[in-house]
């Protein structure tokens, strides 16, 4: 099923035309209404007249998270505050939070794009969807909520937390969809297994998982543990929140709703566009946003784009899995390490739980790299040599995937913290020095 066939399956030439019209409009809008963008464009010696089609996008300046911080809280708004009907904020990693504002139209576009995602997962007005993303300033909860209402489904607005009750209501209300982070889904799955309620008594069929990077192996794990189809939903506060893109039934890339959010992939160092299909940093320009448009916003997310028509019939460009944010990448003893690589290895090995914590430090001028893991109960043993053999096995596997050997620490079953939102997988003590 397709929510907006005209747009989602639009001929690519037609789409370029639509994007061109919209780009011109948004550039006019920010030039006249946001001093920040006008100044940047003037510094580059360009005016809105230089932007005649979508190809001209590369003439425009980039925007980065720091720009939002420097203009905190409302400096990037392109409309008077009387037009702003909602604020959201993201915690970010350091310093001031960033704030975004939405007009009524921005909110309606947001619920439109989430509706496209939910429909692509096979959800309809006959389904109830439990929204277990956090509600509040975080965009996850309210974003998914509006999408479910838009398709006419029944929202179960749980927010995150209170895990026992989540399970109970999911069971009693017959939720067919679950929207939350993949790490919370994993925790919910674990809780269901421990609750003694047979999985067959749940109606759950579809997971809408996102807000953090996750791997194909994690998909398999969640699908099997919850007996569902697990789909990706992608987004970021600066652009609109969840729903910037979503997977279809083919589970072969995340369709980006490029009539509203124009994607580019650039080399994160040179900032030049990379050849089609190559990995780089994802950059978005919002083509229709009124409240706080973003021009060539650098997401820091590393991925690639696929322009071929999808088997589902949609022509909307697809994004490959996000390897991670460039901020998540650690350089350990000179080697680039992403937490998603660790996750992927753990999920391949039946002996281990998918929960982990990476601890990095610097001792005697050398990086230390520890991975704390839990052994599954059926593999856990009191015999030292068995545990040592397991450690060796996983250390060797990690080395072959990551390129350096970690020090593996097996911790007590269920002792690693379970996450109800975005999981925190890394403690890098080097940053404290």
Residues lying near Zn ion in the complex (CB under 5 A): 248, 250, 310, 312, 314
Closest separation in Å from C-beta 77 to Zn ion: 35
Q: Is 156 within 8 Å of 106 (Cβ atoms)?
A: no
Q: How many CB atoms lie within 10 A of CB 307?
A: 11
Relative to beta strand 297-303, strand 280-286 is antiparallel
323 vs 394 by CB, closer to ligand ADP: 323
Closest separation in Å from C-beta 324 to ligand ADP: 8
Closest separation in Å from C-beta 85 to K ion: 5
225 vs 314 by CB, closer to Zn ion: 314
- Which letter does DSSP use for residue 59 in this model? G
Closest separation in Å from C-beta 21 to ligand ADP: 27
80 vs 196 by CB, closer to K ion: 80
213 vs 406 by CB, closer to ligand ADP: 213
Cα 61 from Cα 42, distance rounded (Å):
10
Residues that bind ligand ADP (CB under 6 A): 90-92, 139, 210-213, 232-237, 299, 301, 322, 325, 422
264 vs 301 by CB, closer to ligand ADP: 301
33 vs 252 by CB, closer to ligand ADP: 252
Identify any residues that bridge with 283 across adjacent strands, giving them in sequence order: 264, 298
Q: Which does 322 bind (CB under 5 to 8 A by kind): K ion, Zn ion, ligand ADP, none?
A: ligand ADP
Q: Which does 262 bind (CB under 5 to 8 A by kind): K ion, Zn ion, ligand ADP, none?
A: none
Nearest to 177 by CA among 127, 110, 248, 227: 127
Q: Which does 248 bind (CB under 5 to 8 A by kind): Zn ion, ligand ADP, K ion, none?
A: Zn ion
Residues that bind K ion (CB under 5 A): 84
Q: Is 243 within 8 Å of 106 (Cβ atoms)?
A: no
- Which letter does DSSP use for residue 11 in this model? -
Q: Which does 314 bind (CB under 5 to 8 A by kind): ligand ADP, K ion, Zn ion, none?
A: Zn ion
Closest separation in Å from C-beta 232 to ligand ADP: 5
319 vs 394 by CB, closer to ligand ADP: 319
Nearest to 133 by CA among 79, 180, 88, 80: 180
Closest separation in Å from C-beta 87 to K ion: 10
Cα 23 from Cα 289, distance rounded (Å):
11
Closest separation in Å from C-beta 309 to Zn ion: 9
Cα 223 from Cα 228, distance rounded (Å):
5
Q: Looking at beta carbons, which pairs linking 29-33 to residues 24 or more positions away fall under 8 Å? A: 29/78, 29/290, 29/293, 30/78, 30/293, 30/295, 33/78, 33/79
Q: Which does 157 bind (CB under 5 to 8 A by kind): ligand ADP, Zn ion, K ion, none?
A: none
24 vs 300 by CB, closer to ligand ADP: 300
Rg (CA), the chain: 22
Q: Which does 310 bind (CB under 5 to 8 A by kind): Zn ion, ligand ADP, K ion, none?
A: Zn ion
Closest separation in Å from C-beta 344 to K ion: 45
Q: Is 374 within 8 Å of 387 (Cβ atoms)?
A: no
List C-alpha distances in Å: 404 to 347, 368, 372. Answer: 19, 11, 16
Q: Is 102 helix (H, G, I), strand (E, B) or coil?
A: strand
């Amino acid at each position: 099923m397709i929510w907006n066939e005209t747009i989602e399956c639009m001929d690519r030439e037609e789409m370029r035309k639509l994007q061109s019209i919209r780009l011109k409009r948004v550039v006019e809008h920010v030039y006249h209404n946001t001093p920040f963008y006008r100044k940047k464009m003037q510094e580059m010696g360009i005016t809105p007249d230089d932007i005649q089609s979508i190809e001209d996008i590369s003439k425009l300046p980039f925007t980065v998270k720091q720009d939002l911080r420097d203009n905190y809280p409302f400096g990037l708004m392109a409309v008077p505050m009387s037009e702003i009907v909602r604020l959201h904020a993201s915690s970010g990693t350091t310093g001031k939070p960033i704030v975004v504002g939405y007009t009524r139209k921005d909110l309606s576009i947001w619920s439109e794009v989430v509706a496209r995602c939910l429909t692509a997962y096979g959800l309809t007005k006959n389904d109830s969807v439990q929204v277990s993303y956090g509600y509040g300033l975080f965009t996850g909860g309210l974003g998914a909520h509006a999408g479910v209402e838009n398709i006419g489904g029944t929202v179960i607005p749980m927010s995150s937390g209170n895990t026992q009750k989540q399970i109970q209501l999911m069971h009693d209300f017959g939720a067919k969809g679950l929207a939350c982070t993949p790490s919370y889904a994993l925790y919910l799955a674990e809780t269901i297994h421990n609750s003694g309620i047979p999985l067959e008594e749940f109606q759950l069929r579809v997971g809408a998982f996102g807000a953090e990077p996750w791997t194909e192996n994690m998909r398999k794990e969640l699908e099997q543990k919850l007996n569902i189809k697990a789909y990706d939903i992608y987004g970021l506060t600066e652009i609109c929140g969840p729903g910037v893109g979503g997977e279809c039934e083919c589970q072969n890339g995340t369709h980006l709703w490029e009539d509203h959010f124009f994607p580019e992939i650039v080399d994160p160092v040179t900032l030049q566009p990379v050849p089609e299909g190559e990995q780089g940093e994802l950059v978005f320009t919002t083509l229709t946003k009124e409240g706080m448009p973003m021009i060539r916003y650098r997401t820091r997310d590393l991925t690639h784009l696929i322009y071929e028509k999808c088997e589902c019939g949609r022509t909307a460009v697809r994004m490959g899995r996000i390897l991670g944010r460039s901020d998540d990448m650690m350089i350990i003893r000179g080697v680039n390490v992403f937490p998603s690589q660790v996750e992927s290895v753990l999920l391949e090995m039946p002996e281990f739980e998918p929960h982990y914590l990476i601890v990095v430090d610097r001792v005697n001028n050398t990086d230390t790299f520890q991975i704390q893991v839990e052994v599954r109960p059926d593999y856990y043993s009191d015999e030292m040599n068995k545990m040592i053999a397991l450690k060796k096995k996983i250390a060797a596997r990690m080395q072959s995937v990551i390129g350096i050997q970690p020090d593996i620490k097996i911790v007590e079953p269920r002792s690693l913290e379970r996450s109800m939102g975005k999981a925190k997988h890394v403690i890098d003590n080097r940053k404290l020095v």
